[in-house]
Amino acid sequence: MIIVTGGAGFIGSNIVRGLNQRGHTDILVVDDLTEGDKFLNLVNANIADYMHKDDFRQRVAQGQLGNIEAIFHQGACSDTTERNGHYMLDNNYRVTLELFQFCQAQKIPFIYASSAAVYGAGPVYAEGLEYESPLNVYGYSKYLFDQVLRRHLSSLKAPAVGLRYFNVYGPNEQHKGRMASVAFHNMNQFQAEGHVRLFGGWDGYVDGGQLRDFVHIDDVVNVNLHFLDHPETSGIFNCGTGRAQPFNDVASTVVNTLRTSKGKPVLPLPELVEQGLIRYIEFPDDLKGRYQSHTQADLTQLRAAGYDQPFRDVQQGVGHYVKYLLEQGRL
């Protein structure tokens, strides 16, 4: 059996899909469906069982889970604006620690979700303590467990891998609300209002010019499965494209893909702005000093670990995402 925590969520449900495509169906999904909309992400998934996260945590504490091939731990509070440190550290840090200890005792491969939020404002995004300075308690909750893994790397009894996700986008994120990707919000905004709004210039960047490493969910799944295939490898690795692109690229790709779906021509950014299809709003005061204006994954360690697949850029990945949602009738 393979366990996927957060398996009804965005990244978790896509990992389940990736496992299904390989023929894995003996999968236990762990999640919290108190707010039930996430069930949609599992409708087309082939799984063996579902368990609520609290019941799972209790089973882990009691060591009552049977024969497990691997655990993909994606369950977490991913709200970077959450200020409740007690909740965040219990939900993100403590649960991860308990699962790690269980996996080490049972000699089970453990692949967990870390985050690029550990780097704070950067500017270097390489897996080194000297570059890590989280800006919020979410980032700190991920940072704290990464330090646990580092302390145990020389004495592991089973593989353990932390993947620092950058800005992930793609299918099955519709339940995330305001924490969904920029691409998702841009799409829905354009369909509802006929234009996309981006932050104006700040921190030395032009309007819409802040840069992020936007990574398509399929690439994230491929990286996770790479480490399932290579149990000889443990450590902390960035999971991004290694390419920083401006928010303008995301918005332009969204608008132009939706335009071409209606037989309209592709327009360059200046014309999209001139026609009011992309608009800029003043950068919010409450985000100043707590916002990553530039992220770009250093892929040196990931490549050294043998992952040699290319990553989609924004134009490829976001364009594909928009077309997928159009085909599904969700836009």
Among 93, 119, 125, 138, which one carries the catalytic annotation? Answer: 138
Q: Which helix (H) or strand (E) holds 217?
A: helix 217-229
Q: What six digits make up the tokens of 260?
A: 């071409």
In sequence order, the 6+-apart residues with CB closer than 8 A to the CB of 216 are 168, 169, 170, 311, 312, 316, 317, 320, 321
Active site residue 138: yes
Among 50, 53, 131, 176, which one carries the catalytic annotation? Answer: 176
Q: What six digits make up the tokens of 92?
A: 């993100």
Q: How many other C-beta atoms can be found within 10 angstroms of the C-beta atom of residue 14? A: 25
| Gyration radius (Cα) of the chain, Å | 20
Active site residue 262: no
Q: How far apart are CA 284 and CA 259, in angstroms?
A: 29
The answer to whether the beta carbons of residues 132 and 119 sit under 8 Å apart is yes
Q: At what angle do helices 95-106 and 53-62 cross, to 10 degrees?
A: 40
Active site residues: 138, 176
